[in-house]
Amino acid sequence: MDHPEILDSDIRDYDVRALQQWLRAAWEQLADPSLTTFSRRELRNQMKECSADLRARLQMEAEQQTGPVQETIPTYTRPALRILSW
């Protein structure tokens, strides 16, 4: 059986990669001199939305990877001292 957490991770990784690829293609399209002013503005607005989505997904990933870490703090105990004499 597949583990849900593994599938969830794969889906999130795919989403992040898809957003990155879309942004990369959008930057290339933005360099096209045949784009109209309106098309450029619309593309930039979509790129801002995509960047915000990507940032949110990466933030979620970072929070899940660095989940709450509980370190055990050793309690101080007085060492047992023994005095040896010869």
- Sequential pLDDT tens for the chain (86 residues): 444 554 556 666 778 889 999 999 999 999 999 999 999 999 999 999 999 999 998 888 888 777 565 667 777 777 777 777 76
Give residues with Cβ within 8 angstroms of 55, minimum separation 6: none
CA–CA dist 31, 42 (Å, integer) = 14
Report yes or no on whether pTM surpasses 0.85: no
Domain coordinates in residue numbering, the chain: 7-17+33-65
Give the Cα separation of 20 and 39 in Å (integer). 21
